[in-house]
Structure 1
Amino acid sequence: MTYEVLSHTERLRNKVFAIFTDDVAMPGGGSALRDYMVHVGAVGVVAVDTDGRVALVRQYRPAVRQVLWELPAGLVDVEGEPLVDAAARELAEEVDLAAATWDLLAEVHPSPGCSNEKIRLFLARDISPVPETSRHTRTHEEAELELHWVDLDTAVGMALSGEVTNAACMVGILGAAHARDRDWKPLRPASTAT
């Protein structure tokens, strides 16, 4: 099937995303207008400690007007920064943690019907605190982030019961439990993230 783009119009642009309308030729004839978001991309971190707990945060999200359970996560917005380094930066900035072991857990398109956003989820282990003198000063919604260590099996229950609705958090929790139950064999090298 061929979906030729007949025209491409930018509607809005900011530092995180742009909105476009494409007129797309349909395989059966005719064309249709399709609106979508082009996103800078994101990373998320499933940080698991030696007690089998996962690091979760509660964060207010204006689009849904709710405080959600989430992973430490953020934008891929530093030019040339390797994806695993972006994940390490977000882990440090959001919850004052560092990790010695990094693996790629999953790569997710959370809403491909309207966005090209891709979230790369990394598993972080061998966790340690960031020294007080090196900690990031959080602002806006991030100023209220609190670290919650949740048993991974409890977090799976939260994901399956509807308590966790953030797609990246849900995929990360379920993926980490799957990998753990297989002695971490399904993991990929962090450097393979695209």
Structure 2
Amino acid sequence: MTPHPHLPGQLAGSHLSDSDASWPVSSTDMKYESPYVSLGIDTIVDPDGNQHGRAVVSPNDAIGILAIDDEDRLLLVEQYRHPVRRQMLEIPAGTLDVPGESALDASKRELAEEADLVAATWEPQLKLLATPGYSTEGWQVFTATGLSPVPEADRMVREAEEAHMVQWWMPFDEAVEAVLAGRFSDSLTVAAILAAQVLRAR
């Protein structure tokens, strides 16, 4: 390791990355459990032997879909999100709540359910952890192209917030500008758009 010449810390090598690690857990107190999310309090032991209580929220993992049409327009869905009391513009997304379903199959299901679309081509784009300070939730994003509509007779009847969902198509470059201007605040959407922009620039 080489220290920074003027500031605290080490100079990073080109292969710096996250790594698996696990401090011992001396006890877990489960506060809430459901098929969709659980909340527990873990008591962890640090390398010095000190104990600390940490809340751990464990929801189902989730997926997001960056759906791009033949004119390079990005699909956004507008949906009411009650916890933040906002109408949010987001890429189509959903949770892995079907037992045994892969992330790709969940993405195909969610694109059909939220946007009445199927895609001919699917490419993995990005993997993220949502809020690792207190949650186990992982996200995976796929890029979907070669889009076509689901036949009318096969479309799902959307309910609750999804019944009022609106689909918007925005030129990809304008979506990047909207992110930079702070007009979109969903973190999965922001990360997916900016990652796609970086990949295009390579």
Q: Answer whether TM exceeds 0.5 for this pair.
A: yes
Per the alignment, residue 165 of structure 1 pairs with: 185
> For the residues of structure 2 that align with 1:12 and 1:3, how far apart are their CA atoms?
23
Per the alignment, do residues 70 and 181 of structure 1 end up closer, same or farther by CA in structure 2, a change over 3 Å counting?
same
Deviations 1:119-156 (A, max 9, x none): 11000000111110110100000001111001111111
CA drift at 1:179 = 2.6
Matched with 1:138 is 158
Any stretches of 5+ residues in structure 1 without a counterpart?
183-194
Query: TM (normalized to structure 1)?
Result: 0.90
Offset at 1:87?
0.1
* Contact kept? 1:52, 1:152, Cα under 8 Å: yes
What per-residue deviation string (whole Å, max 9, x for no partner) do you get for residues 151-184 of structure 1? 11111111111111111101111122223334xx
Q: Which residue in 2 is equivalent to 1:70?
A: 90
In the alignment, structure 2 segments of 5+ residues that lack a partner are 1-20
Partner in structure 1 of residue 36 of structure 2: 16
- The aligned residue for residue 185 of structure 1 is none
TM-score, normalization: structure 2?
A: 0.87
Once residues 120 and 2 of structure 1 are traced to their aligned partners in structure 2, the CA distance between those partners, rounded to angstroms, is 23
Give secondary structure in 2 for the equivalent of 1:63.
helix
Higher relative contact order (CA 8 A, sep 6+): 1
Alignment-mate amino acid for residue 27 of structure 1: P
Name the CA distance, whole Å, in 1 between partners of 2:101 and 2:155.
20
| Residues 1:148 and 2:168 are matched in the alignment | yes
- Is contact 1:2-1:27 (8 Å) kept? no
Q: Deviations over 1:75-131 (max 9, x none)?
A: 101111121110010000001011000000101112111101011100000011111
Q: Of 82, 91, 101, which residue of structure 2 is paired with 1:81? A: 101
Runs of 4 or more, structure 1, over 4 Å off, are none
Question: Could you tell me which residue of structure 2 aligns to residue 190 of structure 1?
Answer: none
Deviation at 1:2, TM superposition (A): 6.0
CA distance in 1, matches of 2:65, 2:38: 25
One-letter amino acid of the structure 1 residue matched with residue 146 of structure 2 = D
Structure 2 residue corresponding to 1:43, chosen from 51, 56, 63: 63
Q: Which has the larger radius of gyration?
A: 2
Range moving further from structure 2, 117-126 or 153-162: 153-162
Identical residues among aligned pairs (%): 37
